[in-house]
Amino acid sequence: MRNPEATQVSLSRRQLVLGASSLAALPLVGGYARAAPAHTFKQGAFDITVISDGFLTLPISIVAPEASPQEQADILRRLGGSADTVQPRANIPLIRSGQDLILVDNGSGDKFQPTAGRLSANLAAAGIDPASVTKVVCTHAHPDHIGGTLAPGVGLMFPNATYFVSAAEWQFWMDPNYRTTMPDVLHEFARGAQRDLSAVKDRVTLVKPGDDIVTGLRVLDTAGHTPGHISLELAGGDGLIITGDAAINPIVSFEHPGWKFGFDMQHDVAIANRKALLERAATDKIKLLGFHWTDPGVGYAERKDIVYRFVPAA
């Protein structure tokens, strides 16, 4: 097996089914039945708009598998989840840079949970034509991040965009022998990743940490959640890091950065990169934008004892 640590993935079909079935018990959350308002701010020369793709439902056993029952109950209470699930948001940054309109990930589309996939509706509500998006950067190839590549019956959701995917991520998911090199639990993700990555293969640029997407927008290595997971660092002021899934949750990842997250594929690598990211962000007061944090997902890591706490941006 190319990646022995992949066997540590604690995702199971049963847990996913449980997560999905609990959706039926959820009331329709007000703002998500309609278009969610976009959140905008400036970062140096960049104009950032955070567009919601909706939200997911995950069992607490995935989000904080190492927490005690009491700690899990406390986290659920603070996150406002149900008895055993949390509803991570899906915050998609849209970056305007000169003539470029750059999307970071394209959401779930119709490929994952039914409460996500709201990107196109929320882009429309913000007056943004999908055809005007010039670049899509993929933090990693999980279905809630690239499931919006293809629109049903339409083809590419962003027909004029070039794509940027980390070379390591491409190599991992596009393995033609995935049925034998990956554990069974990853096969469905691999099929989805191959469908979406193949759809952009003639318009993709494979990137590595240190590369620039455009001037001032740099690829940062935050592997571990997936083998080729990347974050993006934006120049200007004290800086901004778009973290993708390197720090999945504003409570768990900040206050317990050493805990495993159920969907991380290489736990040791993920934990080391998460700690390094938060340490640097806290020391240098770098603004952070997290994909699954309470929307709009923008804030800071503040050092608290030997760990951190998430402080939303004013």
Give the range of 24-32, 33-41, 42-50, 137-145 binding Zn ion by CB under 5 A: 137-145
CB of 94 to Zn ion, least distance (A): 17
Closer residue to Zn ion (CB): 117 or 134: 117
For 59, the 3-state DSSP assignment is strand
CB of 211 to Zn ion, least distance (A): 22
* Binding range to Zn ion, per CB under 5 A, among 141-149, 177-185, 195-203, 208-216: 141-149
Spatial CA neighbour of 256 closest among 299, 203, 210, 307: 307
Strand order in the sheet with 135-138: 39-43, 46-55, 89-97, 100-104, 135-138, 162-166, 204-207
Q: How far is the CB of 70 from Zn ion (least distance, A)?
A: 27
Q: Is 314 helix (H, G, I), strand (E, B) or coil?
A: coil
Number of residues that bind Zn ion (CB under 5 A): 2
- Closest contact distance (angstroms) between CB of 173 and Zn ion is 15
- Least CB distance from residue 265 to Zn ion, whole Å? 12
- Subset of residues 49 to 108 that bind Zn ion, contact rule: CB under 5 A: none
CB 190 within 8 A of CB 180: no
CA 200/CA 206 separation, integer angstroms? 11
Among residues 120 and 226, whose Cβ is nearest to Zn ion?
226
Closest separation between CB of residue 91 and Zn ion, Å? Answer: 10
- Per CB under 5 A, does 144 bind Zn ion? yes
Residue number with CB closer to Zn ion (143 or 299): 143
Query: Do the beta carbons of residue 289 and residue 93 sit within 8 Å?
Result: yes
The single residue listed with the structure tokens 């948001």 is 89
Choose the stretch contacting Zn ion; rule: CB under 5 A; options: 39-47, 136-144, 197-205, 213-221.
Answer: 136-144
As a whole number of angstroms, the distance between CA 83 and CA 81 comes to 7
The span of 13-21, 114-122, 140-148, 254-262 binding Zn ion (CB under 5 A) equals 140-148
Compare residues 129 and 188 and give the one whose CB is closer to Zn ion: 188
Rg of the chain (C-alpha set): 18
Tell me the C-alpha distance between 177 and 155, whole Å. 26
Peptide bond into 296 cis (omega under 30): yes
Comparing CB distances to Zn ion, the nearer of 97 and 242 is 242
Beta bridge partners of 288: 241, 299
Q: Name the minimum Å distance from CB 292 to Zn ion.
A: 6
**295 lies in the binding site for Zn ion (CB under 5 A):** no
Instruction: Give the residue with the Cβ less far from Zn ion, 97 or 148.
Output: 148
Query: Measuring CA to CA, which residue among 2, 3, 23, 1 is closest to residue 224?
Result: 3
- Token pair of 270 as six digits: 């993920």
As a whole number of angstroms, the distance between CA 71 and CA 74 comes to 5
Question: Nearer Cβ to Zn ion, position 112 or 170?
Answer: 112
Residue 245 binds Zn ion (CB under 5 A): yes
- Closer to Zn ion at the Cβ: 23 or 73? 23
Task: Provide the binding-site residues for Zn ion, judged by CB under 5 A.
Answer: 144, 245
